[in-house]
Amino acid sequence: MLLLALLLSAAPAPAPALPSAPLPLQAEAERAIPAPAAGALMEVSTGRLLALVRPEELVTHAHAPGSLMKLVAAWAALRADQGARSFECTGKDVHRGKVRTCWRRDGHGRIGLRQALADSCDIWFYKVARLLGPRRLLQAAREMGLGSATGSDVPGEVAGALPEPLPELSSPEFAVGRMDGLALTGLQALSLMGALANGGTLWSPRLAGPPAQRGKVGTRDELEDLSRALRDAVQSGTGAAASDLPIAGKTGTAPVPGQEEPLAWFAGFAPDDAPQVAVVAFVPEGLGARDAAAAASDLTRVYFQWRDRGGPSAR
Ligand SMILES: [Zn+2]
């Protein structure tokens, strides 16, 4: 008996499997986003998962967050009363002999938090990260649910990772989501977007059972400031590939060692003015943020069509 128990405990974790009762939008979502894209939809009022396509990318593996991390840094700035800060982006930042660049090489000019988040300016975030320091940045990340499992009932969930302690000089890399020891899961991104959309409740994304709350983030004003920037990101910023639908969200890309193309994320919610659903899309290797935003748009369309058929009430 003891031997059997030992054998069982040493057995590898089961491959992530979906429950026998399929999620309401699973089949349509799988058709909407072809491999290798992964993605998920979650009700923002309950944390219920509506679809989970290729959970191995979103649940059992964590990835570099790229610019999704700018949301965390922006929130840390708002909490530290630095939300009104503007910085000059010339396309290049030199600090203590280290040269860092913005993705926009000719620079964004003088900009504030809202435009910096919407247009994903790297320089604004390098500068604000130096001002905030590791302690505030890490605290915001932890409270937003990074570095710990969401408590989801999807099998095989990993916790992602936060670099602790975070070296002072690495704060800029942390704020833009590109450093060793920093990794995010799709479930965490979904949970965070749900909270921005629903007034601050961080849900455990669940396949079944009653809603499970894992935390609370942000004041009303802070959440409104972040949401406004996420609306801009899709309407006129880096998430424009999703702008055919009323979505708010953030793109993120990060290089992968040994891989030519970066990985790409889009995480957001819809409709942008009265959110019902959180969406995440992940492309392990593709054409970048554009692909991820387009996949998120395709998933959101599946949700809207279901809603318009009376979906959410027909449980
Ligand atoms: Zn810039």
| pLDDT at site 20 | 52
Residue of 101, 95, 53, 74 whose CA lies nearest to 229: 74
| pLDDT at site 19 | 54
Q: Indicate whether 61 pLDDT > 80.
A: yes
Tell me how far the alpha carbon of residue 225 lies from the centroid of ligand 1, in angstroms: 19
**For the residues 289-298, what does the mean pLDDT come to?**
95
Q: Indicate whether 9 pLDDT > 80.
A: no
Per residue in 145-177, pLDDT tens? Answer: 999 999 999 999 999 999 999 999 999 999 999
| pLDDT at site 6 | 41
Distance in angstroms (rounded) separating the CA atoms of residues 121 and 118: 8
**For the residues 292-304, what does the mean pLDDT come to?**
97
Tell me how far the alpha carbon of residue 129 lies from the centroid of ligand 1, in angstroms: 14
Tell me how far the alpha carbon of residue 80 lies from the centroid of ligand 1, in angstroms: 22
Place of tokens 């809202």: 114
| pLDDT at site 21 | 59
Q: Indicate whether 8 pLDDT > 80.
A: no
**For the residues 78-83, what does the mean pLDDT come to?**
97
Residues with CB under 5 A from ligand 1 (ion): 89, 102, 104, 108, 121, 123
Tell me how far the alpha carbon of residue 122 lies from the centroid of ligand 1, in angstroms: 5
Q: Indicate whether 183 pLDDT > 70.
A: yes
| pLDDT at site 23 | 95
**For the residues 187-211, what does the mean pLDDT come to?**
97
Which residues lie closer than 8 Å to 283 by C-beta, 6 or more apart? 36, 37, 38, 263, 264, 265, 291, 292, 295
Per residue in 200-218, pLDDT tens? Answer: 999 999 999 999 999 999 9
**For the residues 300-311, what does the mean pLDDT come to?**
95
Per residue in 22-58, pLDDT tens? Answer: 899 999 999 999 999 999 999 999 999 999 999 999 9
CATH of domain 24-68+147-309: 3.40.710.10
Residue pair 279/40 in contact (Cβ under 8 Å)? The answer is: yes
Per residue in 220-257, pLDDT tens? Answer: 999 999 999 999 999 988 888 888 899 999 999 999 98
Tell me how far the alpha carbon of residue 134 lies from the centroid of ligand 1, in angstroms: 22
| pLDDT at site 68 | 98
| pLDDT at site 237 | 86
* 3-state class (DSSP) for residue 293: helix
Residue of 297, 279, 292, 289 whose CA lies nearest to 253: 289
The region that residue 310 occupies, defined by phi over 0 for left and psi between -120 and 50 for alpha, beta otherwise, is: left
Per residue in 87-138, pLDDT tens? Answer: 999 999 999 999 999 999 999 999 999 999 999 999 999 999 999 999 999 9
